[in-house]
Amino acid sequence: MILSDAIRLRLEELIKERKITAYKLSYLSGLSSSVISDCLRGKVKEPTISSIIHICEGLNIQVGDFFNSPYFIDVEALDRLDKKNIIRTWPTSQLKIVGDAPGTLLLSQ
């Protein structure tokens, strides 16, 4: 599952459990209602950890409780999936290893 989907589903679940609105969560967390709304609509692909912490504070839960959900089993970040797909479809003759970090790739033009 993509991280943004897991976060969206978990937010929906927690809002429903607590019988509050997205607007109420924005008030409790100190985040703008647009940030909460964008997370719930999947518009924000990877919310900052700061936003997650504020949401958890608003819900009166620990960050670990937020991520302690089946939604986060085998979750992957969107950019990592995109990189995998780019590398899989890019001709290997055009890939060149650069830098000191293992697995660092440069796509030659």
Going from N- to C-terminal start, the domains of the chain cover 3-72, 78-107
> DSSP assignment, residue 109?
-
pLDDT of residue 109: 43
In this prediction, residue 94 has a pLDDT band, given cuts at 50, 70 and 90, of low
- Are 25 and 58 a contacting pair, CB within 8 Å? yes
Report the range of poorest mean pLDDT among 39-43, 76-80, 88-92.
88-92
Q: What are phi and psi of 45, to 5 degrees?
A: -80, -35
Q: What is the pTM of this model?
A: 0.68
Mean per-residue pLDDT over the chain, rounded: 80
Alpha helices by DSSP H, the chain:
3-18, 22-29, 33-40, 49-59, 63-67, 78-89
For 3-72, CATH gives: 1.10.260.40
The pLDDT value given to residue 108: 45
Q: Rounded to an integer, what distance in angstroms lies between the CA atom of residue 109 and that of residue 106?
A: 9
